[in-house]
Amino acid sequence: NINMLTLKICFVCFLSTAQKWMYGGLDSNVILQYLAWVTYPVVLISFSAGFTHIVAPQAAGSGIPEMKTILRGVVLKEYLTLKTFVAKVVGLTCALGSGLPLGKEGPFVHIASLCAALLCKFMSFFGGIYENESRNTEMLAAACAVGVGCCFAAPIGGVLFSIEVTSTFFAVRNYWRGFFAATFSAFIFRVLAVWNRDEETITALFKTRFRLDFPFDLQELPAFAVIGIASGFGGALFVYLNRLIVQFMRKQKTINKFLMKKRLLYPALVTLLISTLSFPPGFGQFMAGQLTQKETLVSFFDNRTWTKQGMTEDFNYDSHSAAWKHPQANVFVILVIFIVMKFWMSALATTLPVPCGAFMPVFVIGAAFGRLVGESMAAWFPEGINTDGIIYPIVPGGYAVVGAAALSGAVTHTVSTAVIVFELTGQISHILPIMIAVILANAVAQSLQPSIYDSIIRIKKLPYLPELGWGHHEKYNIRVEDIMVRDVRYITLNSTYRDLHEILLIGNLKTVALVESAESMILLGSIERAQLQALLTQHLSRERRLEFIRDRADAERKRVSVVSTPSSEEGGQKVNHEVRFQISTEESSFTPARPISPKPLKPALKRTSTAEKNIEIPTSPHDSGIGLKNLLCARPQTDAMEIEEWEEQQLDEQVNFNSWKIDPAPFQLVERTSLHKTHTIFSLLGLDHAYVTSIGRLIGVVSLRELRKAIEGSMTVKGVKVRPPLASFRDSGTSGTSSESEATELHKLWDRHTSISIPREHQPNTSDSDEKSQ
Amino acid sequence: NINMLTLKICFVCFLSTAQKWMYGGLDSNVILQYLAWVTYPVVLISFSAGFTHIVAPQAAGSGIPEMKTILRGVVLKEYLTLKTFVAKVVGLTCALGSGLPLGKEGPFVHIASLCAALLCKFMSFFGGIYENESRNTEMLAAACAVGVGCCFAAPIGGVLFSIEVTSTFFAVRNYWRGFFAATFSAFIFRVLAVWNRDEETITALFKTRFRLDFPFDLQELPAFAVIGIASGFGGALFVYLNRLIVQFMRKQKTINKFLMKKRLLYPALVTLLISTLSFPPGFGQFMAGQLTQKETLVSFFDNRTWTKQGMTEDFNYDSHSAAWKHPQANVFVILVIFIVMKFWMSALATTLPVPCGAFMPVFVIGAAFGRLVGESMAAWFPEGINTDGIIYPIVPGGYAVVGAAALSGAVTHTVSTAVIVFELTGQISHILPIMIAVILANAVAQSLQPSIYDSIIRIKKLPYLPELGWGHHEKYNIRVEDIMVRDVRYITLNSTYRDLHEILLIGNLKTVALVESAESMILLGSIERAQLQALLTQHLSRERRLEFIRDRADAERKRVSVVSTPSSEEGGQKVNHEVRFQISTEESSFTPARPISPKPLKPALKRTSTAEKNIEIPTSPHDSGIGLKNLLCARPQTDAMEIEEWEEQQLDEQVNFNSWKIDPAPFQLVERTSLHKTHTIFSLLGLDHAYVTSIGRLIGVVSLRELRKAIEGSMTVKGVKVRPPLASFRDSGTSGTSSESEATELHKLWDRHTSISIPREHQPNTSDSDEKSQ
């Protein structure tokens, strides 16, 4: 059901033909031609950047890094809103239409996920919220598959690509759903082409017509392997270049300041540069500047050889391939220029703040590189390599396919580009060369650079958990106790509402631990912030205050005129209330006398004019007091002092836990859990945080942040927190086997056992609180 | 590196040509022909069954169910031995050569895994054992991919199929390795064909030559969907039939008794029946009995139509397709007979106790069904469906491909059969029909029956965790406390060796919990049984006994003759031996006087004649005393009484924990963890068991067994253990929302908090021990 919505995005690419039409209509004057050629993309990109910036800045970029983070379990709500959806669709349409080397697979993934998320929200009006929430992630995972699948009409490759790109651990049952959704979307995407009479029946998007009998010679395999290895280096270089550009733009403060002022200037300048260079009568004639990405690909995948006989004849009826023919330069020079120019152009263009992906440009560059190798091979062996029997000439188009799969695989660190290529070309005959090249490219690229998406995650500083590297054995020696935060926010069973309020003001974790008491620290469960807020709001709500005032009025009336008989049989509860607050105006004897904290509730009493409805429960730390603010704004204009007093009293009441919804089994780790195991558990279960308990007592909490710091920190040893004395001690002590360290642990355990005969005394707690007071 | 070894299996299928040769050479006499035709498979299958039964009965069957269980985390050591490997390879060779409708993909998976496991074992001689153990599962996962990949020369489909078939949750980083291994194996598998001059270059195994321009009409899609749905029903029926046959054979006691006596009779009878029916001059002429599976497939995937014009001419030069032409019956009848006969034959043949798989037979039946539909369509629309323009006739071979993918997908509950089919045929032009058919077939089959592998898992009662069904909401209401075993085996920090020994005699879990003391029950970690055994063996070892005796001899000597100087520098040990037995007849004064338990160590002192070397540490409960036995057997023939006494003393010593290797952070659940969450955690982390703790105290343990019982039991409510009073109470109490039940939980918590002011008293423990004494 989620794939229907993504279909409307398939209509977005009309705009690039408009540019050609304008360009073609003005062939009398070169300057006018140039202006038309350049103005069009600059306007489109500027509009796209501006629109995205105004409506939803989150829509800029690929979207796959964000989806990876979201599927990891981190909530990035602003990335899945209707606003983002609109910004992404409009921005992507304009960006693609501009003719810059930008891709659409990342934005498509994001758009499909947005559809899924919005659909989920929409469906939750009908079904139970609970049910849908648990399905949300599964829907998103399927949506990612749909995004890629409908972008390339490649259902299988789409599912695999989305799995590789977004997941660390994958549930096989989601896989089935992904296939279902992706097949459906690819089907409809291609059926539209048939219905539009563009094609006779459903075929591949970039259909190739390579020889089936003898697709390639076995002796060509080394050439394919070379493509793979070179693509691996190229892919790593691309990721590096892309990151370098972003970091350069950030560091250069003078440029940066200037660009910050005129937000649209940077995109416009980049677009101007790129489109000037690709202006067909200018430098563009050496790099086939007049072709769109799709036309370029079609010409690369062509199964005729360009270097050999019959060049002009063949090119006459195929306008796309004619672009590669130049009177002065031969094909090799043009291909090299194309590759070099497109390489930095793509790396630069993908840094623009518009919705765009890097897959398609890289794919094209890879195809160009493959074509280059293929043409060289064809020039080298004009009669083919096979010596005995029939002559099978070399097919450079096959090399182009291999190169495209290898380079895009290297940049994204995926193997499934091979499958995408099969589905894209409709031919699987080159399966072995493609697989070999893709695997080699991956092996090289993965050892040099992170994938483009991981690189963006690092640049954007998204809360993602990095992979544990290979062979970093020191990481196995870090334990949870070394990285956990010992100063945990918690509430106890006899907390007052004031404690709640203070916790809400300070903490920033999404859940708060519930312990039995501050002395025992036995972890009973965890409560969501939202719950706490709702509870507090309800306790200080207008209704309760009005009731209180009414009650007091009644009591006042009663006290003044004792004669009147209390005939309140209806509203027995009110009588109770009356009595309570009659007393509470005097010295409080009802609630246990607690030392009222001298600190006034400053943020709660600050009157703000935010009258907007807060239907969504706020989660960021900044608006933690908003529940209070709201109710204070909404109250009738009575005596502020009196109400403040009432609130103070209310805050000192003990929390009534009966209506709470707590998680009775939050995830617990033991202090000796290794970093490796913690990482696995966090990745597997998609945890945001876990409590660390020692024999039932809460002693710390580990969140993604600490874990990330520990993983990154252990490579570049810095800071005491990451590697405390204990860890280094273990390092020095256990240069030998791991059993030794276990024995050391046991020693400690043994010592403890003998020294502390009664394990349940409160001594360890005092040391805990000491640490807390640091 | 693991794929090299699997290649030698690719040479196994010479035998079926021998049968043909024998059959062809005897065409003068029908009776002799029949005898030759029948004897050959009967002998081969009997040999295969006998060999498998004698060498390693574990080698029988597919092997995929076992691999699924092993990858799930359950140790089935006997399935990964060299014996099994030999039995599987030899048995499979014979079984495939017999010509029965048997497949090889399951055995190939098993063989590849065996290779990986053996390689792991071999490599562990060089590297550290620890490192290899953690990699074992990853190696196995990659090996499964290799198995399928090298069976079909389908690297991508192999990886996906193995993931779908063996995993519940999949780590994406293993996926890459699987691709690598599978590509390499498929490459070498196909390169061998080139080197053998069978083929000119690397192409697909069952290469098809369908039209590329117009592979199928859009209006043919309903026919493909019909194939998918029918295949779904057919697949479910196949699984059901297969299970029915097995269960029938088990239930029929008279048959069973007879068959148990003559183990080879059942396979021989079945083979006789099947080969008689497929005897070409007999009934076999109506079902193309002379074709092997491969030839059948080639003829099905042929892109010419059988029903139309030019039938005889075409068939002349293609001997395979000629088998489908019969003077009396037309093609449809023959195809229907073929499908029906092969259907029950395959279901029957896969129950034989030989190494065999069900994939290939099902694949062939599916292709036949697809061909049937395709031929019908071709007869119905002889001019093709497309009305405007060029006539594109219908390609029945495409239908055969769709049918093959759909039926095999339905039987195995996988979608990746589609990919396998692409790689097998070398054409991807039918991608959308195949995907649609496979998805429909899966949807139908999954709602009717488990997959063939899950069915075998159930039949074989392998310790596998079933999937949680969809929409069984009552399962979410079961908590861990309802299903856990409260009577946990544990040792404490001050356990004696006697306690260890008793635990080893009784328990059957692979690990034993270590708690602080029996009163506090605070969980400190878990210890492997093997560790305990080693510890106990070491403590009662011969060396220690000798040392003890030497020490005492020294003391004795000092006491008896203080004057004589001990001049025994050479052969000190012998002297010690002498002295030892002189003294040890007296009363022991060396060891501290402890109360010796009256119970003698019966199993320890039973002398057995098992002189075989126990290098492997035994893990099954039966041989838990073997460590003791061994050392007792090895001792010199001295006074048994004396040694028994010494052992009694040793057993009463407190365990020294320093050399132990414990797991300091065993997986813990809380008693209120829901069954759903428990299931997810068990599946994700591949757990075998988890301890249940309540505020740090060990209160129970949940193993796979309990979990499985709970999941299966909650559907067919039976037994008190599965749904104890508490659970039913919750059921009745919380018919409304889930927040209510949470509130109820909190009530209890609250009550406890108010009633028990000091949480760490020992009262709960007494109730625990009460339960234990039940």
Give the chain B residue whose CA is nearest to the CA of A698: B695
Cα dist. A167→A384, A418, B171 in Å? 43, 19, 8
Residues 415-434 of A with CB under 8 A from B: 415, 418-419, 422-423, 426-429, 431-432
Strands B697-703 and B689-694, bridge-based pairing? antiparallel
Q: Give the Cα separation of A436 and B696 in Å (integer).
A: 53
The separation between CA A558 and the C-alpha centre of its own chain, rounded to angstroms, equals 63
Q: Give the Cα separation of B496 and A421 in Å (integer).
A: 66
Residue B766 burial by Cβ neighbours in a 10 Å radius (0-12, 13-18, 19+): exposed
User: Which residue among B170, B439, B659 places its CB closest to the CB of A170?
Assistant: B170
Q: Taking CB atoms and an 8 Å limit, are B435 and A203 in contact across chains?
A: no
pLDDT recorded at residue B45: 87
For residues B91 and B391, the answer to whether their CB atoms sit within 8 Å is no
Q: Taking CB atoms and an 8 Å limit, are B657 and A523 in contact across chains?
A: no
Give the chain A residue whose CA is nearest to the CA of B480: A665
Q: Taking CB atoms and an 8 Å limit, are B435 and A183 in contact across chains?
A: yes
Name the residue among A160, A241, A235, A238 with its Cα closest to residue A442.
A235
Helix (H, G, I), strand (E, B) or coil at A774: coil
Distance from the Cα of B425 to chain A's closest Cα (Å) equals 9
Residues of chain A with pLDDT under 70: 1-28, 73, 124-135, 193, 196-206, 208-209, 211-214, 253, 255-256, 258-262, 307-323, 326, 384-390, 465-477, 507-509, 542, 559-640, 656-665, 695-696, 712-774
User: Which residue among B180, B693, B746 places its CB closest to the CB of A439?
Assistant: B180
B13 touches chain A (CB under 8 A): no
A667 touches chain B (CB under 8 A): no
Pick the residue of A746, A751, A758 with the most B CBs within 10 A to test the interface with B by mutation. Answer: A746
What does the radius of gyration of chain B's CA atoms come to, in whole angstroms? 33
pLDDT recorded at residue B168: 74
B201 touches chain A (CB under 8 A): yes
The continuous run of DSSP H or E covering A20 comes out as helix A15-25
Q: Taking CB atoms and an 8 Å limit, are B672 and A657 in contact across chains?
A: no
Q: Taking CB atoms and an 8 Å limit, are B209 and A204 in contact across chains?
A: no
Give the chain B residue whose CA is nearest to the CA of A531: B739
Q: Give the Cα separation of B394 and B350 in Å (integer).
A: 35
Average pLDDT, chain B: 70
Chain B hits for A699, Cβ within 8 Å: none
B658 touches chain A (CB under 8 A): yes
Distance from the Cα of A758 to chain B's closest Cα (Å) equals 9
Q: Give the Cα separation of A457 and A61 in Å (integer).
A: 11
Q: Taking CB atoms and an 8 Å limit, are A167 and B169 in contact across chains?
A: no
User: Which residue among B168, B522, B745 places its CB closest to the CB of A759?
Assistant: B522
Q: What b/e sequence results for B288-315 when a residue is b if at least 16 CB atoms lie within 10 Å of its CB, and e otherwise?
A: bbbbbbebbbbbbbbebbbbeeebeebb
Residues of chain B with pLDDT under 70: 1-28, 73, 124-135, 193, 196-206, 209, 211-214, 253, 255-256, 258-262, 307-323, 326, 384-390, 465-477, 507-509, 559-640, 656-665, 695-696, 712-774
Q: Give the Cα separation of A646 and A545 in Å (integer).
A: 8
Number of A:B CB contacts under 8 A? 252
User: Which residue among A168, A658, A750 places its CB closest to the CB of B743?
Assistant: A658
A730 touches chain B (CB under 8 A): no
Strands B523-528 and A668-670, bridge-based pairing? unpaired
State the virtual CA torsion across A356, A358, A360, A361 in degrees, nearest 10.
110
User: Which residue among A658, A665, A753 places its CB closest to the CB of B493?
Assistant: A753
Overall pTM surpassing 0.80 (yes/no): no
pLDDT recorded at residue B623: 41
Cα dist. A687→A43, A322, A473 in Å? 44, 55, 24
Helix (H, G, I), strand (E, B) or coil at B246: helix
Q: Taking CB atoms and an 8 Å limit, are A659 and B743 in contact across chains?
A: yes
Q: Taking CB atoms and an 8 Å limit, are A439 and B156 in contact across chains?
A: no
B493 touches chain A (CB under 8 A): yes
Retrieve residue B13's tokens: 């299928």
CA count, 13 A, side-chain hemisphere, A93: 13
For residues A147 and A7, the answer to whether their CB atoms sit within 8 Å is no
pLDDT recorded at residue A639: 64
ipTM: 0.70
Q: Taking CB atoms and an 8 Å limit, are A435 and B693 in contact across chains?
A: no
Residue A566 burial by Cβ neighbours in a 10 Å radius (0-12, 13-18, 19+): exposed
Distance from the Cα of A661 to chain B's closest Cα (Å) equals 6
Residues 181-200 of B with CB under 8 A from A: 183, 186-187, 190-191, 194, 200
Q: Taking CB atoms and an 8 Å limit, are A204 and B524 in contact across chains?
A: no
A546 touches chain B (CB under 8 A): no
First to last CA, chain B: 54
B730 touches chain A (CB under 8 A): no
Chain B hits for A743, Cβ within 8 Å: 658-661
Q: Give the Cα separation of B492 and B198 in Å (integer).
A: 68
Retrieve residue B151's tokens: 């069976």
A705 touches chain B (CB under 8 A): no
